[in-house]
């Protein structure tokens, strides 16, 4: 929602992986955008009752707080995409309806790793 239906936002702590994804994104005409793990939002996923809160109240920074929440459970190299997944109108190469955002960029990055 934050970046619209044409741009797939992603999070990673791995700069080399992010650069590979960005290069594949450009080569595959599949736009993506790296968003930050904004450390100042960590307290939003620390509720007073449970161990963690994956949906903090207020509704702000949902993509970032989701990424911060998921990061706590991953020990390996990874990327978290927070996609919209719906094309509201026909566009070249993107028919109206459900869409697999970032699929070409991800595939291109994987092919570049081998």
Within a domain: residue 2? no
Residue 64 sits in which domain range? Answer: 8-113
Query: Of 110 and 38, which is predicted with more confidence?
Result: 38
Residue 82 lies in a domain: yes
Between CA 15 and CA 21, with CA 19 as vertex, the angle to 5 degrees is 115
Q: How far is residue 98's CA from residue 22's CA, in Å, rounded to a whole number?
A: 23
Task: Report if residue 50 sits inside a domain.
Answer: yes
In a domain, 53, yes or no: yes
Looking at the structure of the chain, the number of domains it has is 1
3 phi and psi angles, rounded to 5 deg? -110, 5
- Cα–Cα distances (Å) from 31 to 10, 59, 101, 113, in that order, read 11, 26, 9, 19
In a domain, 3, yes or no: no
The span from the CA of 11 to the CA of 17, in Å, is 10
48-104, pLDDT tens digit by residue?
666 666 667 677 788 898 899 899 889 888 899 988 777 788 877 778 888 777 888
15-54 pLDDT tens trace: 999 999 999 999 988 899 999 999 998 888 877 666 666 6
């Amino acid at each position: 929602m934050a970046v619209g239906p044409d741009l797939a936002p992603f999070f990673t702590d791995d700069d080399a992986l992010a650069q590979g994804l960005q290069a594949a994104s450009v080569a595959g005409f599949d736009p993506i955008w790296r968003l930050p793990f904004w450390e100042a939002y960590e307290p939003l996923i620390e509720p007073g009752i449970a161990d963690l809160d994956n949906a903090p109240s207020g509704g702000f920074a949902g993509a970032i707080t989701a990424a911060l929440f998921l990061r706590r459970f991953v020990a390996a190299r990874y990327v978290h995409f927070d996609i919209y997944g719906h094309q509201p109108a026909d566009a070249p190469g993107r028919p109206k309806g459900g869409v697999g955002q970032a699929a070409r960029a991800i595939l291109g990055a994987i092919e570049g790793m081998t």
